[in-house]
Amino acid sequence: MTVGAAMLDWFQPVHPAHHSSGRQLVAQFREAIHQPARGGTINQRWRAIRIEPQHGDGDSETGAKHSHIIVQRDGKWSLTDNWRTQEQLGEKGVVRILLRAPLHSNEVTRLQWHVTTRLIRCLRQMCGIPGAGIFLNDTLALPSGSSASSSAGRGD
């Protein structure tokens, strides 16, 4: 019986975090917050999302200092201490997402963009951010066939 359970466990597919449901993503975002938002609820604190590249040779620590979320090329993502403490960075009320890109390129992988759009939808739902509040850096090279406006959930 133990061997059978071990075999089933071994064959059962593992679902990485980037395949989480929308509700699970919202829960992860909420649970990560160590300090409640000062000056209002989370819905009142965040009003826009800015997505920018961070080059692969860039210092991860530097990226973490200047963002709330970092999305790696393999689709793995992480919340930074800035999200955990609900820290405002630069423009007030803007959640900053950095997409890791190769040196001398702003190319985004298909998986990286897919995960990013799911994160955007989650943030929009959780924080009440309108579609017009999504800002992509003009230099981002999205995967072919990707539409910035439709993939990010714009156009309410």
**What angle (nearest 5°) sits at the alpha carbon of residue 47, between those of residues 147 and 110?**
25
Q: Using the 8-state DSSP alphabet, how is residue 14 labeled?
A: P
What's the predicted TM-score (pTM) here?
0.75
Helix 110-127 vs helix 22-32: crossing angle, to nearest 10: 70
Architecture of domain 2-151: 3-Layer(aba) Sandwich (3.40)
Q: Using the 8-state DSSP alphabet, how is residue 121 labeled?
A: H
Q: Which residues of the chain have pLDDT under 70?
A: 1-22, 25, 34-43, 56-63, 147-156
Closest of 137, 136, 25 to residue 149, by C-alpha: 136
Residue 115 contacts residue 71 (beta carbons within 8 Å): yes
The reported pLDDT for the residue numbered 56 is 60
Give tens-digit pLDDT for 36-49: 555 556 667 899 99
Give the Cα separation of 121 and 84 in Å (integer). 19
Give the Cα separation of 147 and 80 in Å (integer). 27
Task: State the CB neighbour count (10 A cutoff) for residue 70.
Answer: 20
The reported pLDDT for the residue numbered 30 is 76
Cα-based distances in Å from 155 to 94, 97, 108: 19, 20, 22
Give tens-digit pLDDT for 94-118: 999 999 998 888 899 999 999 999 9
